[in-house]
Amino acid sequence: MTQPTRIRRCHAGHLWQGDGWSREGIFGVDAEGMLQAVEDGPAETLGSWVLPGMPNLHSHAFQRAMAGLAERRGRMDDSFWSWRETMYAFAAAIGPDDLKAIAAQLYVEMLKAGYTQVCEFHYLHHQPGGAPYAPAEAMSLALVEAAREAGIALTLLPVLYMRGGFDGRPLGARQRRFGHEVDGYLRLLESLRELEAADLRVGIALHSLRAVPEDAMQAVLASGPAREGPIHIHIAEQLGEVQDCLSIRGARPVEWLLDHADVGARWCLVHATHLSEDETARLARSGAVAGLCPTTEANLGDGLFPLVDYIDAGGVLGIGSDSHISVSPVEELRWLEYGQRLASRHRNVAARHEGASVGQTLWRAALQGGAQVAGLPIGALQPGHRADLLVLDDGSPLLAAREAPALLDSFIFAGNTPLVRDVMSGGRWVVRDFRHHDEERIAQRYRETAQRLRRA
């Protein structure tokens, strides 16, 4: 991996600056992998089109290895709940070494696709049956090691998972390796926060309202670790979850959360698919981020997020690849828009005024929301931010004769040929000419792991 010099100048023909493309952008990268302002002068030319790397705000890394293995119809009506049983069975075979191999392969794929940071919503804590590993944080450490091996920035979100439903039932046999009580969970957080660095942030994840009782949620939110940093939660993904919450807590999930917690800009409400008009408006006003995962939500048959009403209310959003049935920010954004087109029978839905670009609208929104709930200085090519950037393939026929106004629309909507040529993460080139610097070794270890899991 190429090591950065003390300050090196970089030049882009066009540099994405949030509100549009600037021409002839020159910036510096320091020895810590941070962007710095520099004077004009000799500089390394990166390419014609340079973008900030995309944050991936929701990931369950281990599920990458089961992508494609749950696509046969069962005897019952298939849904999220039947898929979950397949996932539990798969998760039961995975240990720390397996998780590291799977996650490293996934993170290489993310980098090559244009993600330079990932929020890992991590609940696979213990051994099957619930006994702790030694050390207790072994599975979390496997993710940290995998992220550093691949070269991607990581926001690690250890998950509090306590109960099997809104009625308070205990965890089932296949859920026990996910579980913590509040004291043990807070000890895990404190241990992991000692590892924080420029490429690692540790936040809080509450699995869901059905898995975390109200008193436990309030205890965690009142604790020291919750006073700063990101807070993520699955919410309102399934209609069954909404109905159970109404039955037992007397309110819809997002409504209940907004009434019982100080939800603000540090929060990411993952999925939030099934919202009333009032919940949509209140969520937008809160400043929290709606964490949308369109390819997973489509794969699981979840439903469609009320995108138009949320954007019109000023809501903040980001994207994640979740179960990794697809690992592509382009596809997440494409299907975020296409789902709305299919439902409304109109085009260019996310662009809310005449002449606006759908590609620019969605890329800008996903950068903002992802950076906001990652807890790291990312998402912009500005001094003081991590040098996380993508260089597009300006020689691709898909970008031929494209000027700045149409560039992001073509990147997202013009085809499936990979267009991310080079990727810099934390000031280091991790992908050059479409290849990750260590992808052969990481892929071979992953293949061996997948074969072993198949036999398990």
Active site residue ranges:
271, 322
3-state SS, residue 79: coil
Angle at 178 between CA 177 and CA 181, to 5 degrees: 105
**What DSSP state is assigned to residue 34?**
B
Residue type, 384: G
The distance from CA 455 to its chain's CA centroid, rounded to whole angstroms, is: 30
Give the number of other Cβ atoms within 10 Å of residue 363's Cβ.
25
Among candidate residues 66, 105, 97, the one with its CA nearest the CA of residue 441: 105
Give the number of other Cβ atoms within 10 Å of residue 193's Cβ.
16
- Report residue 310 as tokens: 């949320």
User: Any residues with CB less than 8 A from the CB of 275 and at least 6 apart, and which?
Assistant: 236, 252, 254, 283, 305, 306, 310
3-state SS, residue 392: strand
Please name the helix (run of DSSP H) or strand (run of DSSP E) that holds residue 223, with its range, or none: none
Question: Rg for the chain (alpha carbons), in Å?
Answer: 21
- Report residue 148 as tokens: 């550093």
What is the phi/psi pair of residue 166, to 5°? -60, -25
Rounded Cα distance, 453 and 456, in Å: 5
Residue with tokens 């980098």: 111
Rounded Cα distance, 81 and 416, in Å: 31
Rounded Cα distance, 279 and 259, in Å: 11
Rounded-to-5 percentages of helix, strand, coil across the chain: 40, 20, 40
Angle at 437 between CA 434 and CA 439, to 5 degrees: 85
Residue type, 454: R
What is the phi/psi pair of residue 362, to 5°? -75, -40
Q: Is the dihedral of CA 295, 200, 231, 100 positive or negative?
A: positive
User: Any residues with CB less than 8 A from the CB of 184 and at least 6 apart, and which?
Assistant: none
Residue with tokens 């023909």: 13
